[in-house]
A and B are shown apart, each in its own frame.
Chain A
Amino acid sequence: MVQSSSDIENNKERLLENLHQPSDFATRAITFQGKRGLLLYLESVSDTVKIQKSILTPLSSNEKATIEETVTSAKVGVYTNINEAATRLLKGDCLLLIEGDCSIYAASAESEVSRAPEEPFNEKVVRGSHDGFVENMNQNIGMIRNRIEDTDLVFKQFSVGKKTKTKVVLAYMDSVVNKDILQEVERRIESIAIDMIVSPGFMVEFLENKSFSPFPQFLPTERPDRAAAHIMDGRIALLSEGTATSLILPVTFIAFFQSPDDFNSRILSGSFFRLLRMLSFLVATTLPAIYIAIIGFHFEILPNELVLPIKASLEGIPFPPIVEAFIMVFTIELIREAGVRLPTPIGQTIGIVGGLVIGDAVVNAGFISNVMVIVIAITAVASFTVPTYEMGASIRLLTFPLMIAASLLGFLGIVMGMMIILLHLCKLESFGTPYFSPFAPIDLQGLKDSIIRFPIWKMNHRPRDVQPKDTDQQQRTRGWAKRAPKKRR
């Protein structure tokens, strides 16, 4: 604890010492009511235009009032502690030292460097909002506030990271959210003792129950509309400064397969897309395993017309099915990984070389059967239809154990593998709420928004897995529709 003194030069030296002589430190001499003064700020985080407008101009014109009254900045703090003052300096505040005054005045002047909101890369939609979170926390909060104009909407701020002091904000509806869950989330956030929080990935690992589960237990999203919808369901959105990704918690398995597009398109097509995605989940996890089991154990279940083509394509392949499948999956993952970080023009080349050249040559050379190429390609495409990247990655991981199980025991192995996955899903919890709801425990109301989506006017209740305080979200939404008259006989 270093107290400030009335000697401004001394104060400045102490501040500089505290901050280890920063190179972006700027200082300017001023006079206020005839007294000498110093204005200190960090060029990198403070906005010089703001300093000019709200500090320098008022100071030079006003003659009588105190500093707090003169400065027109949004916030002005008074500190006598050098350390605290230095912290303010780091936040972008501008410090005022006046000769003969022990206090240090901190006027807010942080520069707001942020980009314009863009549609998130990996959560594109066809219709609806093309808005996306940015790295600036205030802007993100604003985006949610714009969508939910309600006094119940609470933003609770935490600071995580002993050194980074990353701002973390929990957004929730006070009248809906389950207080037990909220308390548990707060308790876990407060218990994080780490120097640095860089990305939401850090938060996920510190907060989630089972880190080694293949299934993601928080839903990361960059879409404000998605976050707002989940907040209205009674869930909590966790925003953190410096990243455009917010985390929704607690969340269910089915949430990873929902997309805003489901509700932007009409009921039938929305349900069809949802069904397609659930099907693709099954295909992506089990198709290679089923194929391996069939050609290795149970080819009698093949339809008669398929037996000969498959037998013909497999003739002369030097590898057992499991090795064949692994080579192909490995190749596809290689192409994907190589393509992710490359600039687009080169990425396309990789796609062509990998997809067409390798795929064609490997069959022509007789290393891999063409049916296996088809199976693995369908699996890869299916795994990319999942609207959330995290779930897609989990699904691709789950394929491997199932493939091994199928190659050891055939269908029996697949059944055992699926059983373990299902057991795990049923047992998994996200902040004490069942992860596999509404399937286990079964919730008939919740099933309306699961494998298919019911009309929105049928969904009168919020999902029950988070046990919201207020369970009804709407009633009589179609008040204009008259009740059908009773049929006379």
Chain B
Amino acid sequence: MIIHKKILVLFLSGLLPLCMLTGCWDQRLIKESRLILVAGLDVLPNNKIEDTVIYPVVNKTSGSSGEVKSVMASSYGVTTRDARFRLDKKVSQNFDPSKNRVFLFGEKLARQDMYASLDVIYRDPKGAVNAMVAVVKGTAKDALSIKSEDSPLLSVYYPQLLRSSSEIGLFKITTVQSICASMFDPGIDFVMPYIKPNMKTKDRTNVIGTALFHKTKMTGTLNEKESLMLMLLNKEKAHYSRFTFKITNKQKVKEEDYVTITVNKLKRDWSIKIDKNNHITVPITLSINAAVNELPSDHLNSHQRAIKIEKKVSKEMTQLAKKTLSNLQQANADILGVGKHIRAFQNDKWIKLNWDKDYKKITFEPKVKVTITQHGIIN
């Protein structure tokens, strides 16, 4: 027993310095890290990658928790990592992108190849894969050089902007992680929010629609209404998916020509039919229960009028759906995942298809049926 104790004491006294002398080599103190909260990537005319970052700086005065402000820095290199390396040389403290919240991509870079510039994040175990992504019309640097009045910190402004736009049904929040699988899946493609900074006032950025991708490249865009419709076609209902349509053309007051509906309930029925000539037809039926939000011309208490509006809106929405789907096909972006569906359920047909080319040839047959179920509280 005594010998055992001696061994134990020796062992412990050997262990103690081992613990104490290792020091803090793997420590990563938050107070010594330069937290990158927004990053933007652009491609320069000479094909170099420009990385622009926003980080917060705390102006600490004694007694208070300090005032935080955004600082921008940018640098370029041959790859994203190289640009970051150069950036680190400029920025004090340890460059740390693990808390990055938003990635903005210049349109030019997005049209080249997305994966190449995101590779660095996927490879890093501390990479911020939950950062939101968006494509900027123009350069990302422009979007990051605005001075927003909504919030002094761009790291707060952009996430809030994207989140609130997703609430009104323009797009689903896309993150670095969520687009990863679609980049390499031949049967499905992805979209990203499409934003445009106001370069005259330099105080705001507008969401102008969605950017369509095919595999890793951006191939087209949708405007706001088409983006809303794409969400519905994709069976995604946001809190407030609203559509405004012109229903008449004769009122004196222009506003009275329009109606605004909100989608309350959404049901999508679709099937994929492949005939003998390998021609693919996709009938899509959307059944929508809608609430009327705005109808200045009123008289919704009449049943006939309601049916009339329903018919008109259904027609407009069917038109919109057609337009949206043809835009998708033009961009070769299979956002609905038709290819994935065929691969899963009709694999014998799938292996004969060349989806890169055949997607453009399929026929979508959209049909939207709107039923007004809520009139608002006045009638």
Contact = CB atoms under 8 A, between A and B. Distances in A.
Contact of A296 (B29, B99, B155): B29
A366 interface: yes
A365 B101 CA distance: 33
Interface in A17-64: none
A405 to B, nearest CB: 9
B31 A308 contact: no
Interface string B23-67: 010111111010100000000000000000000101010110110
A297 interface: yes
B68 interface: yes
A295 interface: yes
Contact of B31 (A295, A297, A309): A295
Given A310-B30, A311-B35, A311-B58, A320 B126 contact: no
B19 interface: yes
Contact of B27 (A297, A309, A310): A297
Nearest to A321: B29
Given A297-B26, A300-B126, A366-B62, A314 B31 contact: yes
B68 A320 contact: no
B29 A320 contact: yes
Contact of B128 (A300, A302, A366, A407): A300
B68 A300 contact: no
A315 B60 contact: yes
A315 B64 CA distance: 11
A317 interface: yes
Given A311-B31, A311-B35, A316 B60 contact: yes
B302 interface: no
B31 A317 contact: yes
B68 A312 contact: yes
Nearest to A309: B65
B19 A315 contact: no
A297, A370, A410 interface centre (most CB from chain B within 10 Å)? A297
Contacts, number: 70
Interface string A289-317: 00000111111101010011111111111
B159 interface: yes
B22 interface: yes
B62 A304 contact: no
B122 to A, nearest CB: 15
Interface in B184-202: none
A408 interface: yes
B98 interface: yes
A393 to B, nearest CB: 24
Contacts of B27: 296-297
B65 A313 contact: yes
Contact of B62 (A294, A298, A364): A364
A296 B33 CA distance: 10
A320 B159 CA distance: 32
Counting chain B residues whose Cβ lies within 8 A of the other chain, the interface size class is 20 to 34
Contacts of B159: 304
Interface in A316-371: 316-317, 320-321, 364-366, 370
B60 A312 contact: yes
Contact of A297 (B28, B35, B56, B60): B28
A331 to B, nearest CB: 20
A485 B58 CA distance: 69
A310 B24 CA distance: 21
Interface string B56-83: 1010101101101000000000000000
Contacts of A316: 31, 60
A315 B31 contact: yes
A367 B153 CA distance: 28
Contacts of A304: 99, 101, 159
A295 B29 contact: yes
Nearest to A366: B62
Contacts of B98: 299-300
A304 B26 CA distance: 23
A364 to B, nearest CB: 5
Contacts of B35: 307, 311
A489 B29 CA distance: 66
Interface string B126-163: 10100000000000000000000000010100010000
Nearest to A311: B30
A419 to B, nearest CB: 16
Given A297-B27, A307-B35, A317-B31, A312 B101 contact: no
B56 A311 contact: yes
A313 B56 CA distance: 13
Given A299-B99, A300-B128, A408-B22, A312 B65 contact: yes
B277 to A, nearest CB: 53
Contacts of B101: 304
A398 B178 CA distance: 42
Contacts of A313: 65-66
B173 to A, nearest CB: 13
Name the residue among A296, A302, A312, A321 with the largest chain B CB count within 10 angstroms: A312
Contacts of B66: 312-313, 315
Contacts of A365: 62
Contacts of B24: 296, 320, 407
A408 to B, nearest CB: 6
B33 A299 contact: yes
A300 B99 contact: yes
A223 B127 CA distance: 57
A121 to B, nearest CB: 39
Nearest to A304: B101
Contacts of A297: 26-28
B28 A299 contact: yes
Interface in A184-221: none
Contacts of A317: 31
Contacts of A364: 62-63
Given A296-B29, A317-B31, 10 more contacts: A295-B29, A296-B27, A299-B99, A311-B35, A312-B66, A312-B68, A315-B58, A364-B62, A407-B24, A410-B26
